[in-house]
């Protein structure tokens, strides 16, 4: 099976879901190489669009994502990666999930989750992009 990497400029979106709780933790993008590394190492490796390079999730925080299962969609252009996350959360803002805000009818985003860790204790000041 060949994934359609060309639709998003050589990358496919990869949804990260906690396989135990079902919670959607984040969305990243993968290049063919990052998918191969993810499969070979059993830990999620994205391709960072902002930095244009491979990005091992948890490389600085230790909050790696252990792969339980990789699913592919009907059009071969999106991945759903079910993981066992290591550590208290995946988000550089200190939350278990990056989707910790809900959009209201007024267009404002409201925080709907509790912080699960103190990000300043985990990340260096310049570490935002290397969570």
**Residue 53 in contact with a second copy, rule: CB under 8 A:** no
Q: How far apart are CA 124 and CA 98, in angstroms?
A: 19
Residues 62-101 that bind a second copy (CB under 8 A): 69-75, 78, 80, 91-93, 95, 98-101
Residue among 6, 10, 33, 49 that touches a second copy (CB under 8 A): 49
- The DSSP result for 6-45, as a single string, is GGGTS-EEEEEEETTT--EEEEEEE-HHHHHHHHHHSB-E
**Residue 47 in contact with a second copy, rule: CB under 8 A:** no
Residues 15-34 that bind a second copy (CB under 8 A): 15, 17, 21-24, 26-27
């Amino acid at each position: 099976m060949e994934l359609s990497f060309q639709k998003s400029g050589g990358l496919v979106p990869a949804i990260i879901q906690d396989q135990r709780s079902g919670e959607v933790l984040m969305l990243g993008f993968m290049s063919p190489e990052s998918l191969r590394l993810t499969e070979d190492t059993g830990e999620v490796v994205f391709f960072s669009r902002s930095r244009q390079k491979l990005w091992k999730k948890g490389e600085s925080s230790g909050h790696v994502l252990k792969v339980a299962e990789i699913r592919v969609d009907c059009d071969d252009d999106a991945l759903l990666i079910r993981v066992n996350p290591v550590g208290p959360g995946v988000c550089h803002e200190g939350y278990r999930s990056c989707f910790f805000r809900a959009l209201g009818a007024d267009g404002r985003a409201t925080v709907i989750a509790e912080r699960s860790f103190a990000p300043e204790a985990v990340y260096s000041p310049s570490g935002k992009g290397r969570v």
